[in-house]
């Protein structure tokens, strides 16, 4: 017996938080009709099972300290989180010191200053991939004693 659309949505939500758009796409990919999916998701939101704000807060809590603000904001946009919910969740990390976070992340990953230009480029790429800007990446390398040519 095939589970109802609502049961399938609740089963997915029991595993982890989902953004509304992400959950809708998952259900539609399983063959559900968009209109029915929207009705079920409206009901789940009314009952508190589904929340873009809660999803955004969970993403920010999970990624903070390991990724820069830009990377976290990008992920929220990719998941089509409601802009107001994303803004509120990102406000929690708005006052964090990105240079200190990036330095701590670099320290955990590498620990020692790069020995040559190739290794230096690898360190910069790592920080860029984690959502930190070029200016922050170069400041981190300067801070740890590497001479960086801009």
pLDDT digits (tens, 9 = 90+) for 69-94: 999 999 999 999 999 999 999 998 88
20-45 pLDDT tens trace: 999 999 999 988 899 999 999 999 99
**Which residue bears the tokens 């017996």?**
1
Distance CA(105)–CA(126), nearest Å, equals: 10
Please, which residues have CB within 8 angstroms of residue 120's CB and are 6 or more apart in sequence? Answer: 114, 141, 146, 148
Contact 56, 81 (CB under 8 A): yes
Q: Which of 22, 92, 95 is nearest to 57 (CA)?
A: 92
| CA R_g for the chain | 20
- Cβ count near 33 (within 10 Å): 11
Total residue length of the chain: 150
| pLDDT over 70 percentage in the chain | 95
| Whole-model pTM over 0.85 | no
d(CA 88, CA 93): 10
| Sign of the dihedral defined by the CA atoms of residues 105, 110, 116, 118, in that order | negative
């Amino acid at each position: 017996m095939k589970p109802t659309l609502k049961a399938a949505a609740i089963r997915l939500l029991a595993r982890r938080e989902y953004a509304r758009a992400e959950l809708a796409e998952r259900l539609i990919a399983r063959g559900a009709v968009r209109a029915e999916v929207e009705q079920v998701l409206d009901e789940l939101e009314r009952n508190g099972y589904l929340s873009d704000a809660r999803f955004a807060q969970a993403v920010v809590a999970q990624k903070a300290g390991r990724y820069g603000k830009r990377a976290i904001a990008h992920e929220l946009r990719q998941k089509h989180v409601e802009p107001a919910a994303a803004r509120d969740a990102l406000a929690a990390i708005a006052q964090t010191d990105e240079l200190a976070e990036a330095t701590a992340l670099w320290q955990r990953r590498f620990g020692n200053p790069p020995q040559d230009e190739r290794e230096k480029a690898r360190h910069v790429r790592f920080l860029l991939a984690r959502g930190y800007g070029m200016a922050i990446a170069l400041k981190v390398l300067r801070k740890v004693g590497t001479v960086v040519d801009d």
